[in-house]
Amino acid sequence: MFHQHIISSDYFITHTHTHTHTHTHTHTQTCFTTLYVFTSYHFICTVFINVMCPSLVNC
C-alpha cells in the first residue's frame, strides 16, 4: 500500500489539465490527505498547487 500514497508528477499534470478551477479545492484536499504522512511530498504538493496550478489553469 505504500506506493499508492505516492502520486507522480504526470498524474498532477494530467489531473490539473482535465479539471477546471472549480475543482481546485477538492484536488488540494485530496492531495493533502493522500500525502499527509510524507512531509517532503506534502511540501512539494503545496508548492505545486500554489505555483503550478494557477500557471496552468488560471485557478
CB atoms within 10 A of CB 32: 13
Show Cβ contacts of residue 15 under 8 Å, excluding neighbours closer than 6 positions.
27
* Three cell numbers, residue 55: 500557471
The residue range of the domain holding 46 is 2-57
Q: What is the pLDDT at residue 51? A: 75
Look at residue 21 in the predicted model and tell me its pLDDT: 46
Task: Read off the pLDDT of residues 3-58 as tens digits, 9 standing for 90 and up.
Answer: 444 555 555 555 544 444 444 555 566 666 665 656 666 677 777 777 766 665 55
pLDDT value at position 44? 72
Q: Which residue type is seen at 43?
A: F
Name the domain count of the chain.
Answer: 1
Q: What radius of gyration, in Å, describes the C-alpha atoms of the chain?
A: 11
